[in-house]
Amino acid sequence: MGVKWFLRMLACIPLLAASTAWSAEVHGRSSTQFLWFTNVFTDKEQAELAQYLNLSISQVDQAGKLTLHGYGRISQNLGGGEGLNGRLYYLYADYRGLLDKVDLKLGRQFVNYAAGTALIDGGQIDLRKVGPVAFSVMGGRNVVFSLDGESTHEGDYAYGVAAYLDGVKDTDLELSWFRKTDEGDLARDVLGASFKQYLFNNFKLYANSRYDISSEVFNEVLAGVKYFPMGNLVLTGEWYQSYPTFDTTSIYSVFAVDRYQEAVFKADYIISSMIALNGGVSFQEYGEGADAKVYDIGTRITPLPQLSLALNYDRRHGYGGSLHGGIAEVSYDPTKALSLAGGVHYDVIKRDAMTGKDYARRYWLGGKYRLNERMTLALRVEDNVNLNYEEDWQGRMVFNYDF
């Protein structure tokens, strides 16, 4: 289905542009990519040729309220694999300001509520400008991708409603409900809330939560505060809790799980245009007395406008063993058209007192060259060395055309 829909989308673009040639504007990006990697299922080297298309058609109507959006991919595995494959990520019409109060989206689209997210073949309607509170309702066929296509079944749907503040300065608030069915059976039933508040020009408070009605637990809670004592200093404190829940139709829903909690404190400080520092500590609790601490520190050095060096180091100790590692990455722009970059990632892992140390390393190089205002070439190559591979080469070569 994905390949057919994508080909139909390509075929319809000239017709849409021609039928509205008096005003239509077509913008987007065509990305042609050649990738090579190790197939994790067969442990064999594999290559793939992929074509991505992301486009937007505006000014379709005289009032300029209707916009069409599309994004999809066609790929062909070379030398084995699944062969020709296609995915339509979204293709929908977006009409804004119907009766000056209603926004309407119709087609394949990604919907994002505080209570849940989904890719649906359906619609979303927002009612705005009726006071400080706006309302949204969405629903449609729940789109699920498998390795070689779509795996959506009959009776797979997602729908929900939301109410949120509209036009209130310095404050965001949403309350929503999300439900998902699996072949007609209830799979997810979730209440959600999100909140954001700016105070006194130097505080930002934020929180998100999801309550799983079927399991009767808060499966996700986040609360945080950012403090800006100076323009070049940001202090952050967060508390996060996760209690994993699964679709009620999944076999995993019968297994016992532990609650995960994490407290994070970090600081970002810009000393000058040449040096920036960041550091933090995280306290992690996995339940049953299992906990861990993670410390990290980093810096970004820009000695020249066209040269930048980033260094980061982190150390973790506690449940699951100990780990410490670092990242060094450099970027250099010798000309306005050419950008070069490279990096090394190095990790040392010790599972427990009875095992030795494992090492994981990643080396990568990349570059991007702008041919003109519309066309760019990019290349990235990396090698992974770890417990599973003495060498694991993979890369991506990309030609982008913006229109």
The pLDDT tens digits of the residues spanning 201-247 come to: 899 999 999 999 999 999 999 999 999 999 999 999 999 999 999 99
Residue 339 tokens read as 């950008």
The single-letter code of the amino acid at 109 is Q
Give the SS3 label for residue 142. strand
**Range(s) of the domain holding residue 54:** 1-98
Q: What is the mean pLDDT of residues 24-32?
A: 95
Could you tell me if residue 344 is inside a domain?
Answer: yes
Which domain-ending residue is among 70, 98, 126?
98
CA distance linking residue 135 with residue 160, whole number of Å: 11
Answer whether residue 174 is part of any domain: no
Band of pLDDT at residue 21, cut at 50, 70 and 90: very low
For tokens 């994981």, what's the residue?
A: 360
Q: Are 8 and 38 a contacting pair, CB within 8 Å?
A: no
Q: How many CB atoms lie within 10 A of CB 299?
A: 16
Within a domain: residue 337? yes
**In angstroms, how far is the first alpha carbon of the chain from the final one?**
27
Residue 190 belongs to a domain: no
- As a whole number of angstroms, the distance between CA 237 and CA 235 comes to 7
Q: Are 390 and 381 in contact (CB under 8 A)?
A: no
**Domain ends where: 43, 69, 98?**
98
In 213-306, at which residue ranges do the beta strands (DSSP E only) sit?
217-230, 233-242, 260-270, 275-287, 290-304
In a domain? residue 358: yes
Q: Does any domain span residue 117?
A: no
**Model pTM?**
0.85
Total structural domains within the chain? 2
Give the span between the Cα atoms of 126 and 141, in whole angstroms: 19
CATH number of the domain that 399 lies in?
2.40.160.40
> What mean pLDDT value characterizes the chain?
91
Boundary residue ending a domain (40, 71, 98)? 98
* Tokens 């600081």, residue located: 267
Q: Which residue has the tokens 């991708």?
A: 145
Q: 333 lies in a domain?
A: yes
Cβ neighbours for 8, distance < 8 A, ≥ 6 positions apart: none
* Residues facing 149 on adjacent strands: 146
Residue the block writes with tokens 């829940």: 245
pLDDT in the model for residue 2? 46
In this structure, is residue 256 part of a structural domain? no
Q: Which residue has the tokens 């699951």?
A: 320
